Structure 1
Amino acid sequence: MSVDEPEHRAATRLDDASDATDVPGATDLPDATDAPDAPVAPDEPRGSRLDDWWSRQLATPRRRAIWTWGGPILVTLVAAVLRFWGLGHPHQIVFDETYYVKDGWTLWHNGYESSWPDGADADFAAGDPNTYLDDPAYVVHPPLGKWLIGLGMAAFGAGDAFWWRATTALAGTIAVLLITLVARRLFRSTSLAVVAGLLFAIDGNAIVMSRVALLDNWVMLFCLLGFWFVLLDRSRAERELDAGLARAWGAGRDPHFGPALWARPWVVAAGAAFGAASAVKWSGLWFLAAFGVYLVVVDALARRRAGVPLWMSGALLKQAPVTFVLLVPVAVVVYLASWTGWLTTDGGYYRHWAEEGVNAWTGPLAWVPSSLQSLWHYHASAYQYHVGVHSEHPWQSNPLTWLFMIRPTNMYYAEGADGAVSSIIEVGNPLIWWAAALAAFYLVYRFARYREWQAAAILVGLAAGYLPWLMYLNRTVFQFYSIAFEPFMLLALVYVIGIVVGRPTDPRWRRQGGLWTVGIYLAVVIAVSIFFLPIWTGMPISPLFRQLHFWLPSWG
């Protein structure tokens, strides 16, 4: 049984049946069920009173349209408040902002990351951001994320810490809206999409990573965007395949391999998104590779379902090269474009390496421009740095512990004169994270048992963001890197929530029990987020109250 031919469909729905009809492309998505209906007496009531009330509320197209977009917009506004409120506090360089805020500023002024004198962090916070030097700084991450961090400062100045972090907060807010679109595409349910957005809006890891100017939030946004584009391509590609086969059969030809599909703009868009993620951090390359393979597998299964005789050969030998051409070159172009400042100026680190001594390439590669030779050398040097980082850090964490959030990162700590303390600790809402980790493991079982395509798609994204780090268990890494794959963990959790709530056609006892269970869980989750908000946003609190947030000894 294939990924696209499930015995049981996942993604159960909280909405009534009418809700799905307003979702763009809903007819392209499989219906959502958990398992065959349990035998019930003919007169046994089904659904719940909430279903009846909800059906009445969505009785008109206008109301359904309001819910279809109003729900996602509402949780996005919640996210915006939690990310932008008090964003300028603390007005000092926090954790690794010392690299990315200052690098972003010099990129917009010099075109390359520049060096700074001692004490530059304090000067920057004091309103003097122009103490940078013309000498280049050696950096090991591509420039795009720093260009984007610097955008707010380039537009509004660097005098207020709000503008150091504004674009990163905006990225985190957009990601909440985006996850609702992804969830609705996966589950054909606006209610489940709103739950996904709500969980992302109020989780501490997502809040903190939107309130400090680091690169990882941008990796998350671009990878989630690429995933959405892959999902949009899915239904379009199947329609294009059916149309191509119909034309072949109508002309009396036997399409042994099936057509090569070139009209796939969403694949091109996905390549651009994953290329942008890679231009922020190289970890984005794993998403490009994983979803490239996913597209080939999905194409093969679609050809098999369509009755193409040589479906596997057609997917691998005919369609896969086309998909590669649509996906990868645009990613390369986007990546290289992020280095435009380095390429068009003279001061960047290693900028003239190929012109020095005997560094220039000879032989068959001698024609490569010296600027690109120097750029290649820069990448080789940065790669050696990445694989060799073993310096001890008090807040480093082993990737094996990330799914259960054993060692979150303390990014800021200050003591006030009145004895109050302020912290910014990148710890997620424990009830969200631990439930999402369990849900991710359940999805592995679910896919192995039922071959549900939604489970497969989510697991591909989770694997791309998490599994590569298991190759670097001895490297100095941090829990906050997990923001890149957090959306996929939350989608796994929402997948399970959909199964728990059941369907409006389920027996009343089951449906009401599922709704009560999820309702109570969400209420407690919201309460826990309110409790943890002070240590996510740097609010002054008493040391005792701060200590109450350390649910595990390793958090302190």
Structure 2
Amino acid sequence: MRQWLKPDVPGSRLMGWVGPLLVTLFAGVLRFWHLGRPRAVIFDETYYAKDAYALLKFGYEHNTVKDADKLLLQHPSDLHIWADGGSFIAHPPAGKWLIAVGESIFGMTPFGWRFSAALIGTLSVLILARVARRMTRSNLLGTAAGLLLAVDGMHLVTSRTAILDVFVMFWILAGFAFIVIDRDVSRARLARKIAERGDDDGLGPFVMHWWLIPAGLCLGTATATKWTGMYYIAAFGLLTLVWSMGARRAAGVRRPYAGAFAFEAVPAFVSLVILSLITYVAWWSGWIFNAGGWGRGRVAANPVTAFLQAMPRLWDYHQQMWHFHTTLTAHHDYQSWPWNWLILKRPVAFFYTQPSGCGAATCSREVLDIGTPAIWWVSIITMLIVAAWWLVQRDWRAGATLLGFLAGWVPWFYYGLNHRTMFLFYATPMLPFMVLSIVLALGLLVGPATAPPARRVFGSAIAGAYVLVALANFYYFYPVLAGQVMTYDSWHARMWLLSWI
């Protein structure tokens, strides 16, 4: 039975933390260095920074005056930015509450409203490095996964901007990590129980999946940040059921599918769906228990009555939000379609000015939300490799990576065909799975420990060279990711495609 249990990771457990922590430190330096620059309200920070500040002050999103952006930069604590009434919002409040944490600690400044995004982005590097290590059973490949995420341009920009997408990505990745842990732990528990008790009824023993509880909390929070999380609840719920069936079949259970449905389907549904729903509603507490929010009306003094009173109004609110999302077709200069995302056809300029001080007649300063081409373009190939690997060998790692990628990509095709306005950074939740596909492909290239030494040396050299290319590519684009002042010619040299301008 040992062959279907998780094999141990070669090397010391200490090294399994040293590498991931080092690349996380590196990611943190990149994300926090001059985080308050540019000192401006860039792109959609005009919505989320102010909405987060309103949550601190009122418990719900509040209308602001016309010149609120200017007032925030001139008088960070000025309460005169507020107009009358609650404002209609397009996304749930969880991500904005997290942005508000930074604002509560560091004030209503660019550093304050970007702090939580930088912290969350940094921690996501650690999570991916550890989950990649668990999936590949390699300290080196796990560290490589964290490093590639750390040097992706879109991950860096969304980690340095007060928008919601990096929060969605973080909670989806954290939920996925808990599900992968649950797979290892539950398979080991199933093996022990069968060894002790046998398989008398043909269904196998009951196994509790405790790690799915934090997974449900994370996926509920992802959905409470953006509704994108709903697709991952469905995808990962299906994934856990398939893994349970596979575990019972590998353990020799006579009726593995019936056993998985009988003992594991309902608890998994409760953990991943019901608990996610409870978590989602909990993030709306500020709106539920405070009068003044959009469509909220009066609030009863009794909290139970207030909650019951709020549910129909919250449902109405969600219908309005759904209508907004399904009818948003206004043209935007930086909009793009999901079938163009992987080739980075149309990135988003979050910020652009032409200041002085670069030593040339014309200078440029930009924050361009674009992925590192050496990562995104290569991931197209590696995702195809992973898909073929799963189709041929049904490897669980390839299947999980492919599913995580498709759950963040395919649903947008429906909206794209209906001309819904969308942007490249909507692909942020896909990014960890794109990196995982690269790392899995590198693992195939290097080969297992039993592979011929020549193959492992050659494969390791190619893998190492690729990581160096990705680092160099990121270094080259860094000035237009971090808003550095440069000559116009230097800026233009980095615009590899006309559609990037």
Q: TM-score, normalization: structure 2? A: 0.93
User: Structure 1, unaligned stretches of length 5 or more?
Assistant: 7-26, 33-54, 59-63, 356-365
Find the partner of 1:154 among 104, 124, 149: 104
Question: 3-state SS of the aligned residue for 2:200?
Answer: coil
Contact 2:212 2:271 (C-alpha < 8 Å) held by counterparts: yes
Note the C-alpha offset of 1:367: 12
Residue 334 of structure 1 corresponds to: 279
Question: 3-state SS of the aligned residue for 2:352?
Answer: strand
Residue identity opposite 2:116 in structure 1: T
Find the partner of 2:341 among 389, 395, 402: 402
Residue 411 of structure 1 corresponds to: 350
Note the C-alpha offset of 1:354: 11
User: Structure 2, unaligned stretches of length 5 or more?
Assistant: none
Where relative contact order (Cα < 8 A, 6+ residues apart) is larger, the structure is: 1
Within 5 Å, give how 1:167-246 maps onto structure 2. Answer: 167-246=116-195
In structure 1, how many angstroms separate the alpha carbons of the residues matched to 2:449 and 2:197? 43
In structure 1, how many angstroms separate the alpha carbons of the residues matched to 2:479 and 2:259? 56
Note the C-alpha offset of 1:503: 4.1
Residue identity opposite 1:121 in structure 2: D
Residue identity opposite 1:257 in structure 2: L
Find the partner of 2:459 among 488, 493, 514: 514
Find the partner of 1:260 among 206, 214, 222: 206
Residue identity opposite 2:38 in structure 1: P
- Pair 1:422–1:203, CA change in 2 (3 A): same
For the pair 1:553 / 2:498, whether they are aligned, the reply is yes
Within 5 Å, give how 1:25-424 maps onto structure 2. Answer: 28-30=5-7, 64-128=12-76, 129-130=78-79, 131-158=81-108, 160-246=109-195, 248-249=197-198, 254-261=200-207, 263-352=208-297, 369-418=308-357, 419-424=362-367
Residue 10 of structure 1 corresponds to: none
In structure 2, how many angstroms separate the alpha carbons of the residues matched to 1:514 and 1:447? 21
Contact 2:289 2:307 (C-alpha < 8 Å) held by counterparts: no
For the pair 1:430 / 2:407, whether they are aligned, the reply is no
- Cα offsets for 1:260-290 (capped at 9, x unmatched): 33x3210111111100100100100111110
Residue identity opposite 2:15 in structure 1: W
In structure 1, how many angstroms separate the alpha carbons of the residues matched to 2:306 and 2:131? 45
Residue identity opposite 1:82 in structure 2: L
In structure 2, how many angstroms separate the alpha carbons of the residues matched to 1:413 and 1:71? 36
In structure 2, how many angstroms separate the alpha carbons of the residues matched to 1:496 and 1:135? 53
Question: 3-state SS of the aligned residue for 1:411?
Answer: strand
Residue identity opposite 2:384 in structure 1: F
Note the C-alpha offset of 1:368: 8.7
In structure 1, how many angstroms separate the alpha carbons of the residues matched to 2:316 and 2:466? 52
- Cα offsets for 1:173-216 (capped at 9, x unmatched): 00001111110110011100111111111110110010111000
In structure 2, how many angstroms separate the alpha carbons of the residues matched to 1:430 and 1:5? 41
Query: How many residues are aligned here?
Result: 489
Note the C-alpha offset of 1:377: 0.7
Contact 2:168 2:229 (C-alpha < 8 Å) held by counterparts: yes
Deviates more, 1:308-317 or 1:169-178: 308-317
For the pair 1:470 / 2:413, whether they are aligned, the reply is yes
- Cα offsets for 1:445-482 (capped at 9, x unmatched): 11111111110111121111111111111110100111
In structure 1, how many angstroms separate the alpha carbons of the residues matched to 2:6 and 2:258? 26
- Cα offsets for 1:356-385 (capped at 9, x unmatched): xxxxxxxxxx99922111001101111111
In structure 2, how many angstroms separate the alpha carbons of the residues matched to 1:486 and 1:191? 20
Note the C-alpha offset of 1:442: 1.3
- Pair 1:321–1:211, CA change in 2 (3 A): same
Residue identity opposite 2:203 in structure 1: F
Residue identity opposite 1:68 in structure 2: G
Question: 3-state SS of the aligned residue for 1:421?
Answer: strand
In structure 2, how many angstroms separate the alpha carbons of the residues matched to 1:127 and 1:369? 40
Note the C-alpha offset of 1:70: 1.5
Question: 3-state SS of the aligned residue for 1:404?
Answer: coil
Residue 401 of structure 2 corresponds to: 458
Contact 1:354 1:374 (C-alpha < 8 Å) held by counterparts: no
In structure 2, how many angstroms separate the alpha carbons of the residues matched to 1:286 and 1:466? 10
In structure 1, how many angstroms separate the alpha carbons of the residues matched to 2:247 and 2:224? 32
Deviates more, 1:164-173 or 1:500-509: 500-509
Taking only the aligned residue pairs, the percentage that are identical comes to 37
- Pair 1:367–1:451, CA change in 2 (3 A): same
Note the C-alpha offset of 1:125: 1.5
- Cα offsets for 1:210-231 (capped at 9, x unmatched): 0111000000000000001001
Residue identity opposite 1:127 in structure 2: H
Contact 2:88 2:294 (C-alpha < 8 Å) held by counterparts: yes
Contact 2:289 2:299 (C-alpha < 8 Å) held by counterparts: no
Note the C-alpha offset of 1:353: 9.0
Contact 2:28 2:122 (C-alpha < 8 Å) held by counterparts: yes
Q: TM-score, normalization: structure 1? A: 0.84
Note the C-alpha offset of 1:307: 2.3
Structure 1 stretches of 4+ moved >4 Å:
none
